[in-house]
Amino acid sequence: MHRTATKLADGRELFYYDQEWAADRAAVDRRPLVPAASLSETRLDPVLGEWVTVAAHRQQRTYHPPAGECPLCPSQDDRLSEIPAADYEVVVFENRFPSLATDSAAYVAAHDDPLHTVRPGTGRCEVVCFSPDHHASVADLDEAAVRLVLDAWTDRTAELSALPDVQQVYCFENRGEEIGVTLPHPHGQIYAFPFVPSRTTRMIARAAAHRIRTGRNLFEDLLTAERAAPERLVLRGEHWTAFVPFAARWPYEVHLSPNRRVRDLTALDEAERAEFPGLYLDLLRRFDRLFPAPAGSAPNRTPYIAAWHQAPKGGGDELALHLELFTVRRAPGKLKYLAGVESGLDAFVTDVSPEAAAERLRGVAAG
């Protein structure tokens, strides 16, 4: 992997990731941009003990632009975008409309009160462009391209984790308007949080309780049990396992875990990195085959969220790195809308049994 660092016109950082050195990475951002102040703040919910980010300045962010005005396509002639180069492989840059930013502390003061605790929304939000092809998807890439994406995720995890205010790094992709994507270009995001999100906190607490009760690691025991339960297995590699969780929340949900417990992306070894792209592409393509498109129409693109769960900085050693992939589509033309008990109480009711989902995913293998 070759990384080239540069800056955009307003001072934001941008990184090109290439399989080999590329000559045109010195292209200058010619747009007349000025730095924008980040007014993000985080507020502590006194009832749940969870942090909520308030980022009112994001109301002006780009929303469903025409394909010819996509800010994630390479710049061409006078059509200038967020990427100054005329082509690229993988690009990561600071979000122009971030929920969290390193300079938030300069504009938002901390406030301590048992019922009204406020902190500046310090942190960082980055955009990861997976391909210069506006109409592509991660599932269309080859293994070498996905390996480059993995290397970019890993590099950003290492660098963002070193920032003083960052507690957890979260790499993810949302695909499809049904998920809420406002830019169709193939891309993901990285959030560097100044706090440990509640889902991670709950996982760590459950793992700690399991250690006290059994003397073993929860995630290692879980993976051993799922590898011995073929009814929920989807893929089984030498270094990774993909399975539908026993208590899956979503109609089609798969967890992809390295067989060796590691805390984050930076701890993966070369053998694990080499095997990941093939398995990940297999999973994404199976998701696209779940709901075939009618004959003569465009290929199906199943909406999904793919999210890396990593241990937070300075703690959570019982947590195991894993990727969670799920879709909100439950049947052809039907979405899984969150009901009142789910949105209001976080009490999920699944529409497809985990065993049936795993059988369906096994059955849509290529060929």
Catalytic residues: 187
- Measuring CA to CA, which residue among 262, 225, 220, 261 is closest to residue 246? 225
Residue 160 phi, psi dihedral angles, 5° rounding: -70, -35
Task: Give residues with Cβ within 8 angstroms of 59, minimum separation 6.
Answer: none
**From its phi and psi, is residue 112 left (phi > 0), alpha (psi between -120 and 50) or beta?**
beta
CA distance 175 to 182: 10
- Measuring CA to CA, which residue among 95, 97, 76, 98 is closest to residue 85? 76
Distance of CA 275 to the CA centre of its chain: 19
Q: Are strands 117-120 and 41-44 parallel, antiparallel or unpaired?
A: antiparallel
**What is the H or E stretch that residue 341 is in?**
helix 340-345
**What is the H or E stretch that residue 4 is in?**
strand 2-7
- Measuring CA to CA, which residue among 171, 206, 201, 199 is closest to residue 187? 171
CA distance 11 to 29: 10
Burial state string for 277-301 with b = 16 or more CB within 10 A and e = fewer than 16:
bbbbbbbbbbbbbbbeeeeeeeeeb
CB-based contact 262:281 (threshold 8 Å): no
CB-based contact 202:311 (threshold 8 Å): no
Task: Give residues with Cβ within 8 angstroms of 197, minimum separation 6.
Answer: 50, 51, 168, 170
